Copies of this chain bind each other. A is one copy, B any other.
Amino acid sequence: MTAKTMTGKLSPAFTDLREVLRGRTSGPVAVRGMVHALRDMGGVAFLTLRGPDAVLQCVLPHGLDLQGVTEECAVALTGLPRPEERAPGGVELSADSLTVLSRPAAPMPVAISKKKLDLNLDTELGLRPVVLRSLRERSVFRLQEALCRAFRDTLHGLGFTEIHTPKIVHAGAEGGSNIFRLDYFGRKAFLAQSPQFYKQMMVGAYERVFEVGPVFRAEKHSTPRHLNEYTGLDFEMGFIDSFYDVMEVETKFLQAAMELVRTEYTQDVERLDVDVPDVTSIPALRFDEAKRLAAEKYGRPIRDPYDLEPEEEVNIGRYAKEELGSDFVFVTHYPSKKRPFYAMDDPDDPRFTLSFDLLFRGMEVTTGGQRIHDYQQQVDKMLARDMHPEEFESYLMIHKHGMPPHGGLGIGLERLTARLCGLENIRETCLFPRDLSRLEP
């Protein structure tokens, strides 16, 4: 019998490059990774070994058989680490053996070992499967990971439950025509524009829920701030006193995120020269007031009192930075006609809603607010918008059978990453972006 037994133990036969760089090893070590760069100086060769978190300079002495090693070979090396101030990280490995584990069939199309690639975005996105091997590109998505981790950890700590809701749906939650259609075994179906209906449903069961997942928007415009598929960080919470509770939870998340970025992702922060924002507190301005303040300060007249143009967002962000000292600013009380049917109107002035956006360095990265919980109020608002409540029977089931006052938000992960990293186009912060012309890789 050839039965083997798995015990969950992984043999640590190779030393983590970070341990070598920190000088935590003694005597010879075995390391492995990809050949990030290779310079043959005739006799001595310098090999930069790329690991998941670090690169290590290795010297291959005269006499060591190089076996035709090239960049992007997978290799294992043994040797002795030694201090060397000219090497990245201040440590160099003096190698005494080299094993080639795999070889490429062709050289890389771009020199990814350069500090900055300086490719045009189209070329870069087409080559993403291999361009992400660049340390700089890689760091962008490490910081994105930090944002996700902080989101989940913060919410978990506040008693939120994680959910997974369907992406193939029978009706769109956000209205409008920006929805993808598909054939579902002969029936018409759509790709979810948001987990809105489902996360509200789950408030009735868990009180506080969150989801990290893909969101699909068939927007027909090509801008540096839109993607047709993006990752949504969504939460919804019951028993709120007002939508300010939702804003407090988001503030808490951002505090935790920036702290995590600062403490556990320093290498990525340094590589991208990220200006990590201070989020001790975040100011909030009413929509109409924010428009007025920005218009006055920057001399740009208000064209539509019920809409916020991207240029106005930029100016409000600038105002927040210059006058309130904050990279973030909440804009509250959005006009009712700009918000979906589930948004709760302000009882003091129903032209506006109990809702908010969060702007980060002049760009909207979050939309949230309080939702209608009363059945009749929700049906009435749908009817006033010429919607057909009978088409939303399963959604309205929760209002009919009782819902606590509740609210929530949706954060665009790519936008948040872009503003954090100071990148202008959110395609740079999506591993494999989908837009009007891009369906691969």
Contacts and interface: CB of A to CB of B under 8 A. Distances in A.
Contacts of A51: 207
- For A32, A324, A440, which residue has the most chain B Cβ atoms within 10 angstroms? A440
Interface string A43-71: 00000000111000000000000000001
A339 B332 CA distance: 54
Interface stretch (A141-149, A270-278, A296-304): A141-149
A183 B181 contact: yes
A213 B216 contact: no
B133 A204 contact: yes
A262 B235 CA distance: 27
Given A8-B248, A205-B132, A207-B51, A108 B401 contact: yes
A306 interface: no
A398 B330 contact: no
Contacts of A127: 397
A141 B201 CA distance: 14
A219 B51 CA distance: 40
- For A10, A132, A142, A158, which residue has the most chain B Cβ atoms within 10 angstroms? A10
B6 A170 contact: no
B34 A130 contact: no
B3 A431 contact: no
A168 B434 contact: yes
A182 B185 contact: no
A174 interface: no
Nearest to A375: B105
A170 B439 contact: yes
Given A167-B167, A400-B106, A434-B166, A161 B132 contact: no
- For A137, A204, A212, A279, which residue has the most chain B Cβ atoms within 10 angstroms? A204
Given A283-B3, A324-B3, A405 B289 contact: no
Contact of A439 (B3, B184, B282, B441): B184
Interface stretch (A239-247, A310-318, A343-351, A382-390): A239-247
Interface residues of A, number: 137
Contacts of A166: 214, 229, 431-434
Given A168-B439, A214-B167, A431-B165, A402 B7 contact: no
Interface string A154-192: 001011011111111111000000001111110101010
Interface string A227-265: 011010000001100001101111110110000000000
A371 B231 CA distance: 28
A245 B10 contact: yes
A403 B74 contact: yes
Nearest to A129: B201
Contacts of A16: 159
A284 B102 contact: no
A204 B132 contact: yes
A248 B2 contact: no
Interface string A1-25: 1111111111000101000000000
10 contacts: A5-B282, A6-B330, A8-B251, A52-B161, A74-B405, A107-B401, A149-B156, A164-B431, A167-B214, A169-B440
